[in-house]
A and B are shown apart, each in its own frame.
Chain A
Amino acid sequence: QMQVVESGGDLVKPGESLRLSCAASGFTFIDYYMSWLRQTPGKGLECISYVGPSGNTIFYADSVKGRFTVSRDNTKNSLYLQMNSLRPEDTAVYFCARTRVRGNYFDPWGQGTQVTVSS
């Protein structure tokens, strides 16, 4: 059964850093792009980053470019998101998802991890 599970969400202060992790199982991790998406009540769903199978192809949304860094460890079937200089507007539920680049869709998604940025 394909599955991804996020972890690492927390309550942090503006300007602080946080690292999210995503553990994948049930599929050949190295064959797929992986994405980070986030969801807020106000802005809805947003794909903020993706990384290709080898780690060489990377995308960042303008909203996180220069502050967030995506990476993956194919030996551990894991995806990461290093988030620096966090802002209150980064408060969201963060999801990781296996990504089909050919069709540009996300399947499966994890349950999400809550990140709250507040003083």
Chain B
Amino acid sequence: QSALTQPASVSGSPGQSITISCTGTSSDVGNYNLVSWYQQHPGKAPKLMIYEDVRRPSGVSNRFSGSKSGVTASLTISGLQAEDEADYYCCSYAGVTIHVLFGGGTKLTVL
């Protein structure tokens, strides 16, 4: 099964909003409410930003939100800040055999 599809890069100016898409299939993203999103700064550990499609862990800024429509999940970051510049990865449960699939990652540049 192929990885989830994310755009390679997105950019935005401070204060703006951006959305990163994550497209899967009816066997993964479209079949379970189990998409999670991770932020990774260079050389650092990935950090959970969204889980179960739309839930935000305590301590994560409410500028980060998740949504889903059909086989495409999205991460929206509002009020962009310089510290948001990082790589973002989506992940979806894909059944007991495969377990989870990750997207290829999206590099966010804050202009």
Contacts and interface: CB of A to CB of B under 8 A. Distances in A.
A109 interface: yes
Contacts of A44: 3, 89, 102-105
Contacts of B99: 47, 50, 59, 61, 104
A45 B48 contact: no
B7 interface: no
A106 interface: yes
Contact of A106 (B32, B44, B48, B55): B48
Interface string A92-119: 0001000010011111111110000000
A109 B47 CA distance: 7
A16 interface: no
B45 A107 contact: no
Interface residues of B, number: 23
Contacts of B110: none
B31 to A, nearest CB: 12
B52 interface: yes
Interface string B47-77: 1100110010100000000000000000000
B103 to A, nearest CB: 8
Contacts of A46: 102
B14 to A, nearest CB: 27
A105 B91 contact: yes
Contacts of B3: 44
B48 A107 contact: yes
B18 interface: no
Interface string A25-67: 0000000000000000000111100100000000101000000
Nearest to B50: A105
8 contacts: A95-B46, A103-B55, A105-B34, A105-B36, A105-B48, A108-B48, A111-B45, A112-B45
Interface of B: 3, 32, 34, 36, 38, 44-48, 51-52, 55, 57, 89, 91, 93, 99-100, 102-105
Interface of A: 44-47, 50, 59, 61, 95, 100, 103-112
